[in-house]
Chain A
């Protein structure tokens, strides 16, 4: 890899921690972003010359902070710029900062940053756009393209979301266990929204489809910080298993191909393996939740080498569990498919015809198809 490609990859992977820590320091989204960008520019100049720092996030946090403070001072006094090397030379303090900012700090910082993006006052489409801008660092044109809207419309959407956040008051104290669990649940929902935006794209090479990769990256980040959360394992597993089918889900004319007609040789095995491994881990905790159950259903499809080998009885059981957790017409409809596969199309025995009617009335065929593809 060239210098630039290496630096780019390091900046992308350090971004959530760095922006999150700078936000805690400045308590202002715009200032934190500016400081981070300033630090990135300095990294591009400094790293090829001095080599990569031991901890890229810690370096960016320190340099971002120093640079922002320096700007403030300069504005106040119109004094001369200090020597560039003075700001970016962190050989002594870097290790110390890296030690002080241990995983627990990063954890709360990053969770706060993500949580801010899914503030309940912000509509879901704005939540997703804000998270992609702030946490993932996608550019405005990239996000606009992914959402198939104009850049000015997207800019407005993000500006509005930022204004809501600024007006809402952001909690900066370390969250207690209950708050943390609640935040984690809303963040998981937001990450899954990002994924679903990408999942609806018919062209696997489009900007829109790349949102799936971004959602998976965010879920990996969450799981690194919360390695024992079964629902985060479930969320990542679910997305990996769904994403494994990307090359098989649409025909050449962008029409959706039903699961049972997909060419299973096109499913990506490494993603399936990782998804199944995560489900195995999650199950051991014996606290099922909606993501784990959906992942387990996707896992049963992934394990079947041909549609005939699908374990519909197990899938029916999992849909029943899912109905108990989160009752929804789409789930009832999906379950009716499993029951039909199991007992023949005319005997949806264990589902009352009344509920099935409601489900059918509430769900368009395209939703049902999407759920099955």
Chain B
């Protein structure tokens, strides 16, 4: 079974950590990552940039908003990882998706760290 593990915390606090605090947490996490990666069970893992770097496309009015997706009525149902030249190209991609699948929103959040992990077969 493949699972997505979504990480939640208070962004204001986490991004107030000193470099030492941040390094300490990342160091402890990497011990766990290594163990599970060795077992071939850790697939891609990533750390996102803060929500202030996010941009949201509201599909209904094709409206672009600064900041994260803030509504609580809708639930997170999936996500894509894309590699594009800039935000504008990322928005082109989400607009094409929006035509194919209207309703809800897409939030574009830049990725800070990307660890590919062990390969996974398509299923």
Contacts and interface: CB of A to CB of B under 8 A. Distances in A.
Contacts of A228: 65-67
Contacts of B64: 284
A270 B25 CA distance: 16
A200 to B, nearest CB: 20
A29 B118 CA distance: 56
Interface in B13-52: 13, 15-18, 21, 25, 49-52
B112 A270 contact: yes
Nearest to A16: B12
For this complex, into which size category does the number of interface residues on chain A fall?
A: 20 to 34
Interface string A245-281: 0000000000000000000000000100110011011
B86 A280 contact: yes
A277 B17 contact: no
A280 B88 contact: yes
Given A13-B12, A227-B67, A236 B112 contact: no
B113 A270 contact: yes
Contact of B110 (A9, A227, A273): A273
A224 B10 CA distance: 13
Given A227-B67, A281-B66, A13 B21 contact: no
Nearest to A221: B12
B54 to A, nearest CB: 9
Nearest to A12: B16
From DSSP, what is the main secondary structure of chain B's interface residues? mixed
A273 B109 CA distance: 11
A224 B52 contact: yes
Contacts of A277: 49, 53, 87, 110
A24 interface: no
Interface string A226-238: 0110000000100
Contacts of B111: 273
A213 interface: yes
Interface string B95-123: 00000000000000011110000000000
B55 interface: yes
Contacts of A278: 52-53
A182 B26 CA distance: 40
26 contacts: A9-B16, A9-B21, A10-B10, A12-B16, A13-B10, A13-B12, A13-B16, A213-B18, A220-B15, A221-B12, A224-B12, A227-B52, A228-B66, A270-B49, A274-B49, A277-B49, A277-B87, A277-B110, A278-B52, A280-B86, A280-B87, A280-B88, A281-B53, A281-B66, A284-B64, A284-B88
Given A220-B12, A220-B52, A227-B66, 8 more contacts: A1-B21, A10-B10, A10-B13, A217-B16, A223-B52, A228-B67, A281-B55, A284-B64
